[in-house]
Amino acid sequence: MKACICRPGLLAMVFALCHVAPALAGDAGVVKTLQGKVSVQRGNELLDAGLGMVVRTADRIVTGEKSAVGITLNDNTLLTAGPNAVLSLDRFKFDPKTEKGELEANVRRGSLSVISGKLAKSSPENVQFKTASVTLGVRGTEFIIEVADR
Amino acid sequence: MEFVSAVVVAIAGVLLAQQPEDRIVLLPAPDGSVGKVIVQGADGTKQLDTANAALTVDEKGNTRNYREGGPAIEARYGELLAAQPPRPRNYVLYFLSGGTDLAPESQAELEAIKRDVVARPIPEVRVVGYTDTVGTAEANDALSQKRAESVVEFLRNAGVKAKTFEAVGRGERQLSVSTRDDVAASENRRVEILIR
């Protein structure tokens, strides 16, 4: 059963008219902080990231110099990418009713700070962070992955 | 001959030391508690489970444990950590039996919710309804979903403005107080509001 999400209508004043609509499948989180230049590769598109942008599964987040982006995922995981980073959110599913799902993120370049959310508590076997050389399992915690420039 | 081989080893050592390494650092939560990170590299599996425990990964995937110092973490990762989104926060509201009148003791909590939402640039609100074990699991799923939706209405009418409101009914899952099936318990009949 889908949770109901209330989103501002397109033509409405931002908060005045809010209709209840189901969350879109594939939605993974929201951009909450942003500095400098941040882009999202989604399929064949390269989108400019902005505060409040919805991040989706399979998105690749790319930050420029002197840039950073903080994303809150739907299970309350907080992901923060630093400058010159490439982060791909390869898999994300979260059912708020059962609190089960999966998360796989790959740090291809740069630094990522993670504050884990409900998935690492309820489905830790389905949560993985990867770099080109290691795979990380997580049990409810905060950590940083820094991938060197090669 | 020995001198030459010693120099070769020293140069190799210097070159290797300059190869860039990846790092993984485990941080404590604000309350000091620490979880666990299990790292699988080329040379096997290692675990980080104390505050500031860290390891480096060379370009072959070999890992080496060390401990990062607090000041070093701040120097190296201070800006990254300052860019983190605000931490999600959970609130609990109680309602008078049967309806959507807020219990008097929850008034202060409602005011705290409003202040929290206003303080976040992109606030999202998830209202989660829970029941006790009286009735079937399915009926409680539906009941808690309806209750969550009516509390979303209540919050909006009370002046809470957010980017999204979400209503979730979790029924008998995650009982606040453990009971057997079909036991009435007011502590389990609750609504939790997550602000993130």
- Please give the ipTM for the structure prediction: 0.88
Q: How far apart are alpha carbons A63 and A36 in whole angstroms? A: 8
User: Residue B89 CA to chain centroid, in angstroms?
Assistant: 9
| B165 vs A: CB within 8 A | yes
In one letter, which amino acid is A52? Answer: G
* Residue A22, token pair as written in the block: 């189901």
Give the pair of three-digit tokens for residue A62: 């790319």
Q: How far is B54 from chain A (nearest CA, A)?
A: 9
- Is the confidence at residue A42, as pLDDT, over 70? yes
State the nearest Cα–Cα gap between B165 and chain A, in angstroms.
Answer: 5
For B86, which residue in chain A has the nearest alpha carbon?
Answer: A32
Q: What is the pLDDT of residue B190?
A: 86
Residues 87-116 of A with CB under 8 A from B: 96-98, 111, 113, 115-116
CB B115 within 8 A of CB A149: no
Q: Does B39 contact A134 at a Cβ distance shorter than 8 Å?
A: yes
Extended beta strands in B28-62, E state: 36-41, 44-48, 53-57
Q: What is the pLDDT of residue A10?
A: 44
CB contact under 8 A, A138 and B164: no
The pLDDT of A125-149, averaged and rounded, is 95
B2 CA to chain A: closest CA distance, Å? Answer: 34
Q: Which candidate in B18, B34, B39 is best for mutational testing of the A interface (most A CBs within 10 A)?
A: B39
* Chain A residues whose beta carbon lies within 8 Å of the beta carbon of residue B163: 8, 30, 52
Which residues, including other chains, have CB under 8 Å from residue A103's CB and lie 6 or more apart?
A73, A75, A77, A91, A92, A93, A94, A119, A120, A126, A127, A128
Q: Which two tokens stand for residue B158?
A: 């009370």
Question: Which among A7, A98, A143 has CB closest to B26?
Answer: A143
Residues 26-85 in A contacting B (C-alpha not used; CB under 8 Å):
30-33, 35, 51-52, 68-72, 76, 78, 80, 82
Contact B169, B147 (CB under 8 A): yes
pLDDT of residue B98: 62
A137 touches chain B (CB under 8 A): yes
Q: For residue B180, what pLDDT is reported?
A: 93
Provide the shortest C-alpha distance from residue A59 to chain B (in Å): 19
Residue of A20, A70, A147 lying closest to B85 (CB–CB) = A70
**Over residues A85-99, mean pLDDT:** 97
Please tell me the predicted confidence (pLDDT) of residue A1. 37
Record: contact A76-B25, CB cut-off 8 A:
no
Q: Which of residues 3-62 of B touch A (CB under 8 A)?
A: 20-29, 34-42, 48, 57, 59-61
Q: What is the mean pLDDT of residues A4-17?
A: 44
Q: What is the pLDDT of residue A31?
A: 98
Give A44 to chain B, closest Cα distance, Å: 27
Question: Has residue A100 got a pLDDT over 80?
Answer: yes
Global pTM value: 0.88
Residue B102 is classified by DSSP as B
* pLDDT surpassing 70 at residue A17: no
pLDDT at B7: 53
Alpha-carbon span A105 to A79, nearest angstrom: 10
| pLDDT (0 to 100) of residue A21 | 46
For an interface test with B, which of A2, A6, A94 has the most B Cβ atoms less than 10 Å from its Cβ? A6
CA geometry: angle A88, A90, A96, nearest 5 deg: 115
Instruction: Give pLDDT, residue A19.
Output: 40
Q: What is the mean pLDDT of residues A124-142?
A: 95
| Whole-number pLDDT of residue A72 | 98
Over residues A46-50, the mean pLDDT reads 98
Q: How far apart are CA A11 and CA B29, in angstroms?
A: 42
Alpha helices in B24-136 (DSSP H): 70-82, 107-119
Residues in chain B where the model's pLDDT stays below 70: 1-18, 97-100
| Contact call for A143 and B25, based on CB within 8 A | yes
Please state, in angstroms and rounded to a whole number, the distance separating the CA atoms of residues B47 and A137. 9
- How many whole angstroms separate alpha carbon A9 and alpha carbon A135? 41
Cβ neighbours, 10 Å, residue A104: 16
In the structure, what pLDDT confidence band is assigned to residue A5 with cuts at 50, 70 and 90? low
Taking the CA of residue A40 and the nearest CA in chain B, the distance in Å comes to 18
